[in-house]
Amino acid sequence: MNVLEALKARKSTRAFLDKPVARECIVRILEVARHAPSGGNAQPWQVAVVSGEKKEALARATEAAFRQDGVSGMDYNYYPLEWQEPYKGRRIACGIQLYESLHIGRKDKARRLEQWVANYRAFDAPVVLFFFLDNSLEKGSYLDFGMFLQSVMLAAVEEGLATCPQAALGQFAPLVKEALGYGPGTVLLCGMALGYEDKDAAVNSYRTPREEVESFTRFFS
């Protein structure tokens, strides 16, 4: 598979097979992703690979915290405090696609809640990656990290694996940091579900649309 094919094949997967991912496979992914560019070659990424009982225990703790207190907040604002168009409309359309694929109606609050809670289990993927950044770094390192995350996801496609980058996995940063031994001097950027796609799952059957190049590009000469 070439890079162009991998870019089109990558998608956010929300149902995984109960099949372990070999450690050697994860190392290969990170081995190539580490070549992502970064300003001044800072290489700001720190990665925690969580699986097995540690992953299950952390998922249980996060889910319990959410059910008791709701979202506790991230180390930074991932989303705007007030959505504007066209971004608001795109976000709403994305949610509609998700719930329609599962045949969950707008008024079915119980099922909507349970689908949201699945975020904190990383959709039952066998592996979760958590990504940390030193809090002394600035916005440029966030850009660098984005290129690293994309590199991880493309490498996963090459390995026959599926991913879902998840801001939701950063919503209980103190809990995650304590569980994994990361100190207050770090920023938990996000998590990522990693595993083999359940291709029979309805939630994996749709693809979100993308804007045409002409809608976001201006050429100057």
- pLDDT tens-place string over residues 25-52: 999 999 999 999 999 999 999 999 999 9
Give the percent of the chain with pLDDT over 90.
96
Domain boundaries, the chain: 3-77+120-206
Residue 123 has pLDDT above 90, yes or no: yes
Please provide the CATH number assigned to the domain covering 3-77+120-206. Answer: 3.40.109.10
- Separation in Å, CA 159 to CA 126, 129, 163, 213: 15, 16, 11, 29
- The answer for residues whose C-beta is within 8 angstroms of residue 72's C-beta and 6 or more apart is 65, 171, 172, 173, 174, 175
pLDDT at 161: 98
pLDDT at 62: 96
Sheet holding 127-134, edge to edge: 46-51, 127-134, 186-195, 162-166
- pLDDT tens-place string over residues 173-193: 999 999 999 999 999 999 999
Mean pLDDT of 84-94: 95
